[in-house]
Chain A
Amino acid sequence: AQKITQTQPGMFVQEKEAVTLDCTYDTSDPSYGLFWYKQPSSGEMIFLIYQGSYDQQNATEGRYSLNFQKARKSANLVISASQLGDSAMYFCAMREPYNNAGNMLTFGGGTRLMVKP
């Protein structure tokens, strides 16, 4: 079974609108972390936001927020007020420190977001 599933291969959003990128995960680790990264065409993976499994509140970082629903095992990324520079690949990833005792990340297949002017 896939550990991280991103069901939207590609998405369009109008500039200045909000968009939600979906991510579901599967783990038996009691303590895990969820990450979102942005990868522009240059290739660099840019860290956006992190949510720990025991965090009580949803993580927010500027225009990025993570809609964390633990019971449903989903960690959707919400980008508010989209900008043209948001056009990129977006990856959801999970760290399972107990299962892997380290910093190994498992990535989803990614969602290509295209922002229309």
Chain B
Amino acid sequence: KAGVTQTPRYLIKTRGQQVTLSCSPISGHRSVSWYQQTPGQGLQFLFEYFSETQRNKGNFPGRFSGRQFSNSRSEMNVSTLELGDSALYLCASSPSAGPLNTGELFFGEGSRLTVL
């Protein structure tokens, strides 16, 4: 069974540009969530999508957005890039969501973004 796939793995952008990252969850998983990892702030939750609907959003500015398609694949977009957006962006998938969810969350290898 294929794991969570994130593309691209590495990318370099300059300030002011925008970037789109892609995440393909494990087959059958309907929940996709995104995390930002930086040395200073650690791992922070960005947002989660379930059945094409955003369920949760972390404390990030509106420049960070995302969406989920009908096949559960998800994309996140960061517009007007800033130096502080340099980070490892991790995607996680889970088969379910909700208060009774005890499912595991599986992560991809991440997309490492460098903003110059």
Range for the number of chain A residues in contact with chain B: 20 to 34
Asked if B116 is at the interface of the complex by the 8 Å CB criterion, the answer is: no
* Given A31-B100, A109-B42: A103 touches B110 (CB 8 Å cut-off): no
- Bitwise, B28-41 to A at CB < 8 A (1) or not (0) is 00010101000000
Q: Is the CB of A43 within 8 A of B112?
A: yes
Complex Cα distance, B106 from A42, in Å, reads 16
Complex Cα distance, B38 from A110, in Å, reads 12
- Bitwise, A29-69 to B at CB < 8 A (1) or not (0) is 00101010100001111110010100000000000000000
* Given A50-B104, A103-B97, A109-B42: A43 touches B109 (CB 8 Å cut-off): yes
A-B contact pairs, 29 of them (CB 8 A): A31-B100, A33-B102, A35-B105, A43-B88, A43-B110, A44-B107, A45-B107, A47-B104, A47-B107, A50-B104, A93-B43, A97-B98, A97-B99, A97-B100, A101-B55, A101-B56, A101-B98, A101-B99, A102-B48, A102-B97, A103-B33, A103-B50, A103-B92, A103-B94, A103-B105, A104-B56, A105-B45, A105-B92, A110-B42
Complex Cα distance, B104 from A110, in Å, reads 19
Q: Is the CB of B107 within 8 A of A37?
A: yes
Q: Is the CB of B104 within 8 A of A107?
A: no
> Within the complex, what minimum Cβ distance (angstroms) separates A51 from chain B?
10
Asked if A98 is at the interface of the complex by the 8 Å CB criterion, the answer is: yes
Interface residues of A (CB under 8 A from B): 31, 33, 35, 37, 42-47, 50, 52, 91, 93, 95, 97-98, 100-107, 109-110
Interface residues of B (CB under 8 A from A): 31, 33, 35, 42-43, 45, 48, 50, 55-56, 58, 88, 90, 92, 94, 97-102, 104-110, 112
- Chain B CB within 10 A, most for which of A45, A107, A109: A45
* Given A44-B109, A97-B98: A104 touches B104 (CB 8 Å cut-off): no
